[in-house]
Structure 1
């Protein structure tokens, strides 16, 4: 397992190291002691899986308001996605900036996203399965998001005409998020 800090502080790319032989492969997808040595171990309380059937589907950009803000550990079990994360920590020098990483069953990369970020992904092929651990239970009352195509963030998605849920089509802009003056817990 190789841990690589990303450009946005607190986000880490994790490269898995499979062992292969004539039967297939084995790989450790979680190692508490390795992650703890980088300060990124969390008490994971849920593991979720989403299955998306069509290429060009965007899910996100989602987050949870305080007191339900969550860290995520994301990986792709089948297919490939462009995983996107936006810094919403109002005191951060990179507030409103985004970064991305391709996650796929072939590259075996994972991403650790701390509290205080919006998260989403776009499928790069049909039939994608994304798994992610979170360190807080989902709260519908604290559910939030930022519009996928907010021009002030300007994420470079791999499609201009994505498949979207009605919820994701109608998420607020970053300016609307700022004007709400609600916090995302980052501890």
Structure 2
């Protein structure tokens, strides 16, 4: 099951709580206004109470920064915890997959295309609820400046548990049939060995 790609730089929202819904329940983007002058700019990313009112209670227990080089693909990871993702620098596609077997949109995916190569672009934050898988793929256009490196910020609703290391689905699972921006991505050994969807359901659902 597929969903149309979403170019986050074209998403517009003009009032509180600045939340943009997607076809997958509980998956949404937050795009709060950015304010700038000759000194630089300021942008609030999100407010946890807005998420709690919109979907479910959540919290932040872990925060981290990740750096990925061009052509790297990470995921699809599906640890049982909420995730808040904010790309900071570079160009990437973030794919979120509904892996909740009881969900009416089970196996549906949404691809968000981020262009943070221009420091003037507003930041967009994604909320990914527990039960959904997330992944990212770094790519570079011919006219992009720099080496294509992507920096993004993650927060989680619980601390990572090593027993979750195999909780995910292989990026090229034929049932999902995700359209990625590149071919032959660079994968970690862990991601190469992630199960296909049917095996994931048996093990983790």
1:178 to partner: Cα distance: 2.3
- Counterpart of 2:156 in structure 1 is 134
- Counterpart of 1:72 in structure 2 is 83
- Counterpart of 2:193 in structure 1 is 170
Aligned alpha-carbon RMSD (Å): 1.6
- Counterpart of 1:99 in structure 2 is 110
User: Does residue 1:57 correspond to 2:72, yes or no?
Assistant: yes
1:41 to partner: Cα distance: 5.2
Which moves more between the two structures, 108-117 or 27-36? 27-36
1:40 to partner: Cα distance: 5.0
Question: Would you identify which runs of 4 or more consecutive aligned residues in structure 1 move more than 3 Å?
Answer: 32-37
TM (norm. structure 2) is 0.81
- Counterpart of 1:29 in structure 2 is 45
TM (norm. structure 1) is 0.88
Q: Work out the CA distance in 2 between the residues paired with 1:11 and 1:164.
A: 25
Q: Work out the CA distance in 1 between the residues paired with 2:199 and 2:171.
A: 14
**Greater fraction of residues in strand:** 1
Q: Secondary structure at the match of 2:64?
A: strand
Q: Which runs of 5+ in 2 are unaligned?
A: 1-16, 141-147
- Counterpart of 1:13 in structure 2 is 29
Q: Which runs of 5+ in 1 are unaligned?
A: none
Asked if 2 retains the 8 angstrom alpha-carbon contact of 1:103 and 1:110, the reply is no
User: Does residue 1:47 correspond to 2:63, yes or no?
Assistant: yes
Q: Work out the CA distance in 1 between the residues paired with 2:104 and 2:49.
A: 30
Asked if 2 retains the 8 angstrom alpha-carbon contact of 1:75 and 1:103, the reply is no
1:24 to partner: Cα distance: 1.0
Asked if 2 retains the 8 angstrom alpha-carbon contact of 1:77 and 1:104, the reply is no
